[in-house]
Amino acid sequence: MPLKVGRSSTLPVYSRENTKRSKKTPRRENTKIALEIGGKLPELPPPPPPTGLSTIGPRTVYDGVPLRYEHSRIPFGIKDATHKDIVDLGKSLTEKMTAEEEESRENAVRAAEEAVWAEAETIRIRAVEKAIESTKAEYEKLLKKVEKLQSSKVREAVARAEARIEEAISDAVQEEKVNGERRLKEAVAEADKRWLADLKKAVLKAREEERQAAVQKAEIAAKAAEENTKKLLEEAEKNKLIELKNLEEEYLYQLQATDTSVRVQEEAVAEIRLKCLKEEMDRKLVGLKEILDKERQLSEETKIEIERVKDSKKRVEKELKNVYTSFHSFVENSRPYNIGQSAFVIPKLHTIDYAIDNTHNNILQRSLLKTPSLTDSSMTNVN
């Protein structure tokens, strides 16, 4: 920013050639011409009173306009040295302000980059957690569906097996009951036949022997026949109980075998389904890992691109500063400017830096927009 001196920022050009008086001043030339013509010398107005502070008395008030710095009566050497000091001070202030602006701009860029990377990392972590939660929910839903389907199928298989076993047991019991009754009738008929035969033999024998002995023998034979009948009935009942017990054991064995086979089938089906689910989840996890690898690779590429842009930005800034300095010195060394008088012609450095920052931010935004969404890609692979 140029330093203003007095009321105007435009400083006149002073040089030794302009300050040297010519050998022939206009007043002497006019006097010589007038004398040659024979005329009178023109009356000159009286010189104005001095306007310095030395003419102001203690009781007078100065109402005039103060002289400009350039038009004051200070010697040229002092004015030139003072002007150079002012220009050097302005340059030092400009360089200090430029350095401070550069430092603050770099700090702002660094803070913005850190904030962008922190936000990108947070978005990536949230997307991964969301994808894992959705995968777990889908896996639990599918597992519940499989368990429900398996439980319904198992209940149907058990009901069918129980119905078949009950039907077989009822048929076996009915058949055994019919066979037992038939065998009992046959045993009773055979016992009756043997008893009648023995009775006839005893009667015939009693006829031959004494009646009392025959009667006793007949009673003995009747008792024996009755005992035999009881024994046959007991044996038939024991056989029936044994057969029923055997049937019951066979029923329990078949029931256990059926239950074991059904359980084995259930475990096999569950193992197959769990294996399929595990393979599917492994494939999805592999897809998610590939997506994460791509994200990491893209992040590294983005970092490399940012570093490249930073390097190019630094080179461009350096070139612009060199061009700015060269053009500044060129303008100052050209007429009608002196050193320090051309700052208003060239744009300030902070405007150039602002344009470079805008270009850098646009490049960074384009590189971030090229980054694919992890959530969309992960959900696509899961579906």
Q: What is the DSSP letter of 336?
A: T
3-class DSSP state of 339: coil
Q: Specify the pLDDT at position 146.
A: 79
CB atoms within 10 A of CB 135: 18
Q: Specify the pLDDT at position 155.
A: 76
Q: Specify the pLDDT at position 76.
A: 61
CA angle 238, 232, 180 (to 5 degrees): 60
Q: Specify the pLDDT at position 168.
A: 79
Q: What is the DSSP letter of 26?
A: H
Q: Specify the pLDDT at position 202.
A: 65
Q: Specify the pLDDT at position 366.
A: 58
Alpha carbon distance 25, 80 (integer Å):
25
Q: Specify the pLDDT at position 240.
A: 74
- pTM over 0.75? The answer is no
Q: Specify the pLDDT at position 18.
A: 43
Q: Specify the pLDDT at position 43.
A: 52
Q: Specify the pLDDT at position 134.
A: 83
Bond prior to 42 in cis (omega within 30° of 0): no
Q: What is the DSSP letter of 55?
A: G
Q: Specify the pLDDT at position 311.
A: 83
| Cα–Cα distance list, 267 to 111, 142, 144, 148, 157 (Å) | 59, 17, 16, 14, 14
Contact of 87 with 1, CB cutoff 8 Å = no
Alpha carbon distance 218, 224 (integer Å):
10
Task: Tell me which residues of the chain have a pLDDT lower than 70.
Answer: 1-63, 65-80, 199, 202-203, 205-218, 332, 334-383
Q: In sequence order, what DSSP letters do the residues of 73-127 get, joined into one string?
A: SS-HHHHHHHHHHHHHHHHHHHHHHHHHHHHHHHHHHHHHHHHHHHHHHHHHHHH
Q: Specify the pLDDT at position 3.
A: 41
